[in-house]
């Protein structure tokens, strides 16, 4: 029996087949889940094409997490494909160019606001939009972060947005625990995806991981982060919430 046998899961954030979310969707299906994907804007047609590479068909519904209209329509759209939701994967991040790359001291609020809205506040919006579909037995919400306890080269306001995401997940854990809803994050090491390509100086991260990771880290391998996500979606972390599980080759544990 698969780890997610019979579970109904919404996976956001599939853009290419290197997206962490693509491998979450693939592994979730392999582990017995029924999966619905969401995508937005121009990415919608790309996601629909990439979904064809999954082991089983997965419908793609439209969701821009900054659109109140899309969020309000979400439960209805999911219900066309799934009766309820046992799990939600938040694999969404975006910061305007001016918020990344070493311009930290000069970034305007509007660019910061966009980064925080899309990358952090959206964890709350997405979870609350899906809440009417969570069964009485509870649900698991899993997001993806990049360790926000330190300041990284070039990551700038995306790092601040990730700190907000990490805090947001803890508050969701606090406020939704009574409904048996767990909220957890995977803190992944650097992986070469579309989002990573938009970070100037991504190679600086590669150097840090090459120097410090106790377990050899492969920046072209999104699978370990996806495996961690699937594990948190499963029933094997029933008493874990507000947690950040590092899937980073151990870098977070190693000094200098």
Which stretches of the chain bind ligand NAD, using CB under 6 A? 12-16, 19-21, 39-40, 43, 63-66, 91-94, 118, 144-146, 188, 190-191, 193-196
Q: Which is nearer to ligand NAD, 27 or 63 (CB)?
A: 63
- Do 61 and 71 meet the contact criterion of CB atoms below 8 Å apart? no
Q: Which is nearer to ligand NAD, 116 or 118 (CB)?
A: 118
Rounded distance between C-alpha atoms, residue 38 and residue 56, angstroms? 16
Length reported for the chain: 256
Minimum CB separation of residue 129 from ligand NAD in Å reads: 12
Continuous H helices in the chain:
20-30, 43-51, 68-79, 109-116, 122-130, 156-176, 194-197, 202-212, 223-233
CA 4 distance to own-chain centroid: 18
CA 79 distance to own-chain centroid: 22
Q: Is 127 left (phi over 0), alpha (psi -120 to 50) or beta?
A: alpha
CA 66 distance to own-chain centroid: 15
Cα angle: 95, vertex 158, 44; to 5 degrees:
40
């Amino acid at each position: 029996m698969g780890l997610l046998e019979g579970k109904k899961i919404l996976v956001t954030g599939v853009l290419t087949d290197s997206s962490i979310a693509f491998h979450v969707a693939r592994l979730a299906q392999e582990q017995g889940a029924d999966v619905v994907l969401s995508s937005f804007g121009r990415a919608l047609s790309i996601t629909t094409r990439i979904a064809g590479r999954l082991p089983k068909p997965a419908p793609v519904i439209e969701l821009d997490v900054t659109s109140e209209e899309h969020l309000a329509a979400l439960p209805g759209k999911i219900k066309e494909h799934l009766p309820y939701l046992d799990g939600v994967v938040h694999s969404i991040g975006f910061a305007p160019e001016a918020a990344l790359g070493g311009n930290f001291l000069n970034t305007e609020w509007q660019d910061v606001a966009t980064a925080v809205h899309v990358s952090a506040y959206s964890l709350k919006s997405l979870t609350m939009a899906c809440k009417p579909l969570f069964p009485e037995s509870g649900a698991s919400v899993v997001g993806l972060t990049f360790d926000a306890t330190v300041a990284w080269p070039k990551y700038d306001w995306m790092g601040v947005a990730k700190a907000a995401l990490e805090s947001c997940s803890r508050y969701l854990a606090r406020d939704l625990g009574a409904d048996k809803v767990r909220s957890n994050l995977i803190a992944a090491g650097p992986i070469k995806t579309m989002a990573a390509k938009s970070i100037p100086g991504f190679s600086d991260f590669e150097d840090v991981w090459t120097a410090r990771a106790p377990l050899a880290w492969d920046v072209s391998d999104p699978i370990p982060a996806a495996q961690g996500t699937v594990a948190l979606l499963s029933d094997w972390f029933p008493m874990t919430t507000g947690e950040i599980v590092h899937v980073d080759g151990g870098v977070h544990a190693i000094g200098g």
